[in-house]
Structure formats: C-alpha cells, structure tokens
Chains A and B, each alone.
Chain A
Amino acid sequence: MFFNSFEFLWLFPLVFAAYYLVLALCKPERNSSRWDNYLLIAISYALYIKWNPAFALLLLGITFVTWGMALLIERHEAYGRKKWIITSGVLLSLLPLLFFKYYHFISDNLNVLLGACGIDSGLPGLNYAVPIGISFFSLQAVGYLWDVYYQRIKVEHNWWNYMLFVSFFPQIASGPISKAKDLLPQINAQRTFSETGVIQGCKWLLWGMFLKVVLADRLGLYVDIVYSNYDMQTGLTCLLASIFYSFQIYGDFAGYSLMAIGVGKIMGFDLINNFNRPYFSKSITEFWRRWHISLSTWLKDYIYIPLGGSRCSKLRNYWNITVTFLVSGIWHGANWTFIVWGLLHGIYQIVEKMLGVQKSEAKGLLKFGRIVFTFLLVNFAWIFFRSPSLSFACDYIRKIFIEPGSSIYWGFSTTNVLIIASLATVLIKEIVEELSSFTLINSRYVIVRWATYIVIVFSLLLFGVLDSSQFIYASF
C-alpha cells in the first residue's frame, strides 16, 4: 500500500480508528498484553503479504535471525565467539539482499568478464522481483545487531516488540531507516492519544503528498519524455531535464519520507527526519547531512566509523570516504551507474576535505554561489543515477556539454504550467523556511492554517498526477 494510492485513503482511517480503539480498550493497568503492538504487527505483515506472501517469510526470517543472534551475543562473554556470531548474523541477514538485488548484476558481469577471456561461464540470470523495502529493513535489522554487538543498546528480549521494530508499516517500503535506540523505546513505551500529534502527522502527510503527486510526478512527465528521447533533444533541454530530475527525486523521496513520518506521528511514533532542505547545502559534506539523513547516519555509524572515520591519516580517511560512498552507491542499485554516482560523491567529499571547503563559512553572495555550485555537482551526479547505463549517461552528458543547441523543448501546456507552479511553490516555501521560522501550515491563525490545508487538498485533486505511480526509492 503506497501512501499516494486510493487504497491508503480509505484504509488508513480504518487502521487509525482500530489502533486508537485498541489503545483505549486495553489500558496498561487493565491488561499487560500489548494489543496495540500486536495490531500494528498484524497490519504491517498483512500489507506486506498483500505485496507478496513469500517475501513476508523473508522479512520474518531476517527478523528472527537478527533477534536470535542478538540474544546469542548477549549470552556469550568471549570476544572471539561474539565476533563469530555478529559476522554470521550480518552475513545471514544480508544474504537475501545480496541474492535478490545483486545476483543478476554479478552473474551478468561475470559472464561478460569470463566471455572476454574466452570462457563460456553460462551463469543463469534471475528474473525474480526484488522484495519491496528489502534494502531498508535489512539495514535496520543489521544496524540493531551491530548496536547490540558494540553495546550501544540493550538486547530486546521481547520478540513481538522486535518484530514490530523491523516491520513497522509506515517505513518498511522506503524508510526512514530507524535506529533501535530511537524506535524500540517508543515501541516499549505506553502510547496515548495525542490530538496535537495526530494533527501534526496529518500536516506532514498532506505536504508529503503534495511533494510527491504535485511536484515529483509532474516533473517526472517532462523528465521521462526527455530521457527517453534525449538524442532528439538539444543539450539545453537535456540540462533542464536533469535539473528537473534533481527536484523530482527530492519531491519523490522527501515526500515519501514525510508521509511515513506523518503516519508514524499519527500512530504516536517519532520517526527520524530524513530530509532537511538538502539543496540549500553549501558543500557536498553538508548535502549528506541534509539528504537521506537516516541512510547517511547508518553509513557513518556502521561503515565509515568502523573503518576508522576521520581519526586516522589523511590518506586512510580518503579511503574510508571512498568505501562508504561506494557502499552507498551499491546499496542504491545493482548497476554501474549507481556505483559511479556513489564514487562521484566520494570524490567530491575528498576534494572538499583537501581544500577545506566543508569547514569554511560563507555569507552573502559567496554563500549563494556555493549553494548553486553544490547543486550543480549533485545535479551532475544525478544524471548517472537516472541513466539506465553508463554509456547512456556519457552520451547524455556529452549532449549537454558538446551539443547545447539554442532551443529548449518547452511550450504552453498544462504539464509545463503546472511544473513551474509547483516548483515555484516548493522553492518559495523552502526559501522562506530556510531564512525564517514562518510557515503557513503552522500559522497561529486558525483561518490561515485551515485555508492552507484546503489549498493543499485541492492542489492535490486539481493538479496532482493521481495514478498511484510508484515511489522511485521503493525500487531500491
């Protein structure tokens, strides 16, 4: 069930009502059983089973392995034994991810490599669909296991609580990737109904929906046309489409995250904020503190720091950055384009470290210039991210730099008018919020707040692309 589907619109109020009914009926003083958590587990699994019943077993398997391994780590004192358990636990939990997501890519590349050496390996391909959210819940479960190993958190003995931690439905498809120290205590705690929380959650849900269906999906219409016929377009058009894609992926993923956080809030959970106006970053280092924050935090805690982080020689630090971004690229998808995208971000950060840019302050025009320059670097890397192959990406970039042309594919059409309108709305809102604390949706005047809600609802109905298109990050 995607948040932008019609199914969500009618199903979620029922889920919400059932959840709060259970909360009201099963007060802790009357009943020690956590029926609210059982209900959330049932809903989470029911929704996952609806996608694919077999893959729900996979989710259950990963949950069981990480939960069991964490208990084993707790029981054993010996360092060597613990290390053995964590290694096998992490490998077992990541095995399905490696198999479903990377087997085809590895076998394809091996076939090509061995073929070039004159060996016919004939490794078969894999035509299974990748289980939805596997990259997200696998990382969340593995993160828990590592936290237990490093003794950052206590082991969760309650199987049901842990089951909910891995499968919590608002975040299972595309994150945010929660940390056990943040989410498990909330699952354990007695939740109560909070009107303010529900209203705040609805606001996030509404704005997230706007980002997705009004901004991202509308931009997607233009981007898809240009990318599917880029050889017929001028370089300037390709450049414009690449800029639009930067905003499309932001609207898509930030929109999804906001909806997930909103749904979580409505149910009484505080999920990690995943985006903080990333295109206002003055450096790539800052960009990764503002973009997909939960993944950046995961990579920092479980890849970058264990490798030695920045408390080592400069060369070793550069190596650590490269490996971290290589993992980030591979995590995003089994394609060389994602690997190049990840490496590009790694190189950007290394160059910034060499020049000391990420630490220097900037004001006024310099600040503006750095924001624009950072955006252009990020935008350049997105071209690889959006392209189906490296050769496609190189051709596309060649088109922009070598054959810019003098015209842009543009005209008066509904799509183009709505692209400008939605982009302007989001940009103005984000600029105002970046520079001040003023927000219409949280105005202290009821009439302004309600008028804003109404305008957003009718923007969705009148200008949204309402065919429940999938979220880009749901395929990762």
Chain B
Amino acid sequence: MKRLILKILLFLLICVVVDRGVGATMRWLMSHAQSGETYRNYYMFNKMKDDVLIFGSSRAMHHYNPLVIEGRVGVKCYNCGISGYGIILFYPRLMKILERYQPKLIIYDVYSSFDLKPGDNHKYLRYVRQIEGCEAANEVLTSIDSTERWKMFSKAYQYNSQLPQSIGDCIKSDPDSLRGFHPKFGVKQDVTRKEKDNETPKVLKYEYDDLKLHYLQLLMETCKQRNISLVIFLSPLAVYEDDSLYEPVRTLCNSNNILFVDYERLFDKRPEMFYDKAHMNAEGASTFSVLVADTIMKTIPSIQ
C-alpha cells in the first residue's frame, strides 16, 4: 500500500509539472498567433484600442462591417463577435477589456438562442476560462459550475479544446484586415418566405435563462457606470422570431435607459440579402452596416 501511495504521489507531481509546462506552451502559442480566433482573442485583451466595439454571436460577426461603420462615423471600430457565444462570454470579456482601456460605444447584437433561452451554459465557458486574472470571469465560471474553481487549477484544462486551433493560428498568417468581420458570400439556403412561415405559432409564455438576463443587466449597469454608450441591436433575420420573445430585453433596456433597435424585419421581402435563415450575406451586411452607422450618428451624435 505504501509503495502504491508513493507511486500515486509521484504521478501527481509529474502531472503538475507537465500541466504547468502545457499552460506555458499554450500561453506562448496564444501570444504568437497570427490569425483566427486565437489572434482575435489576444488582440482584444492586449492590443485593441478601438472606440466602437461590436459584441454578439455569429450574427454580429457576419452582420457588422467595422470598415463601413468607421468610414461613416469616423471612429475606430472592431468586431468582437464569435460564433455560438452570447452574454455569458461578452460580460467578462468587457470587464477584462475595461482593465486596459475604455471604449466609447458598444454595439450588442442580441440573439435569443445565446442571450435569452435556457440551456446548458457550460458550452459558453471555453473562452471564459482563458480570461486570466479577471474577477468577473471567475464569477461567471462559478455561477455556472461551482466546481470550475477547482478545475481551473489545471492549466491544461483552462485551454481545453484549444491546442489544434492555436497551432493552426500560429502557422497561418492572416492580417485580420476586416477587423474581426467575417462576411458570408452568396446564398446557401433558399430563405424565400412562404405564407405558412408567417403563421408562427404563438407561445403564451417563453422560458428565459435568469443567469443570461442577470449578465445582460450587469453589462448595462457597467456601461452606465463607466459612461460607455450601449446600443442593443436585433439584426435582420430571414425567418422571424415571435415579437414577444425579446420582451425581457426591451424591459431591461427601458429600465436602464438603453437604446434597443429592432431591425429583425428590415429585409422582409429580400431573400437575396441572406446567406441562410439566421445570417445575412456580405451584401446584406454592407447595407445593414450603413444603417447601423447612421442610427449611431443620429442617436449618439457625441460619438463622432
């Protein structure tokens, strides 16, 4: 038994040493990335100084062209959107960014699947784990899973599922010339609306994720406290969601005096603007970005 315990202790010791080595290697890879999500992550927390930031899911990433906004508003803009993520990631991301500098405006593209509806929130933690030394990130982690604080002892766990992408992003060079914007080209899916599509069955009461609403509220409070302008956008969709679905966001915006702009039906009879049901293509994104820029100039003239 004594021999086994000694072996286990030695094994654990080797694991700790290797774990620290893996952590250091991953940090090195992150800081030397030249493209992709790894580069964007590093840029956001270490180099970014843009005045206008765009937050949100893939809909933010594919819909808001920072170059168009920059051109019309005249301030530097960066698109921080990321596929499949919502407020659970963007609240701690903002808090980490605020440790270094303060942007003037945040455009938040809200989407029910990632910002409102309940579900397994573990899937949003991948990038939250990589926000080091940030109290808000720790709070988000433990609010979703109390065991995260223990799991985070392992540096390898902190970078779970990240290694192949980090290596790829180090090898490939991409200057991120579109400033985080990823346009979709062409039309992948026929989104021509049929009559029956409009007959969306009304749901009497939607279920919402209290945690997501809590972090949306915190995002709004933080922006107010720090004097950062915040606009919540609902960008165009090819297949509409029920109007009442976004009611909690409207209520939060009203109570925090935040502007909520609903452009869901902007391209009602223009299927050529869409790549698929949930995403616009490059043409749709350009037209929409112009409108976003004009909306900002009209509602927040001080931004210029």
Contact = CB atoms under 8 A, between A and B. Distances in A.
A, B: real partners:
yes
Contact of B22 (A414, A418, A458, A465): A458
Contacts of B189: 232
B120 interface: yes
A374 B168 CA distance: 37
B15 A457 contact: yes
B161 A467 contact: no
Interface in A14-38: 20
Contacts of B14: 450, 454
B163 interface: yes
A10 B4 CA distance: 18
A461 B160 contact: yes
Contact of A462 (B4, B123, B160): B160
B250 to A, nearest CB: 30
Contacts of A361: none
B136 to A, nearest CB: 21
B202 interface: no
Contact of A454 (B15, B120, B163, B165): B15
Interface string B147-183: 1001100101101111111001000000000000000
A20 B1 contact: yes
B164 A193 contact: no
Interface in A433-476: 450, 453-454, 457-458, 461-467
B27 to A, nearest CB: 14
B4 A461 contact: no
B18 interface: yes
Interface string B112-146: 00000000101100000000000000000000000
B165 A467 contact: no
Interface in A218-258: 232
Nearest to B158: A461
A466 B158 CA distance: 11
Contact of B160 (A413, A457, A464): A464
Contacts of B147: 6-7
Interface residues of B, number: 27
B120 to A, nearest CB: 7
A198 interface: yes
B157 A466 contact: yes
Q: Main SS of the interface on chain A?
A: helix
A142 B122 CA distance: 40
A466 B150 CA distance: 14
A467 B4 contact: no
A372 B89 CA distance: 45
A99 B154 CA distance: 45
Contacts of A417: 164, 168
B157 A450 contact: no
B4 A198 contact: yes
Contacts of A412: 168
B18 A463 contact: no
B15 to A, nearest CB: 6
A412 B35 CA distance: 14
A205 to B, nearest CB: 13
A7 B150 CA distance: 11
B156 A458 contact: yes
Given A458-B18, A463-B163, A453 B156 contact: no
B1 A454 contact: no
Contacts of A454: 14-15, 18
A195 interface: yes
Contacts of B161: 414-415, 418, 462-463, 465
A51 B168 CA distance: 43
Contacts of A199: 4
B205 interface: no
B16 to A, nearest CB: 11
Contact of B163 (A10, A195, A462, A466): A462
A193 B160 contact: no
Interface in B5-33: 11, 14-15, 18-19, 22
Nearest to B14: A454
Nearest to A416: B164
A442 to B, nearest CB: 16
Interface of A: 6-7, 10, 20, 193, 195, 198-199, 232, 412-415, 417-418, 421, 450, 453-454, 457-458, 461-467
Given A458-B156, A466-B160, A467-B123, 10 more contacts: A195-B1, A195-B3, A414-B162, A414-B165, A415-B161, A450-B14, A458-B19, A461-B22, A462-B162, A462-B163
16 contacts: A6-B147, A6-B151, A20-B1, A195-B1, A413-B165, A414-B165, A417-B168, A418-B164, A450-B14, A454-B18, A458-B19, A458-B156, A461-B160, A466-B151, A466-B157, A467-B122
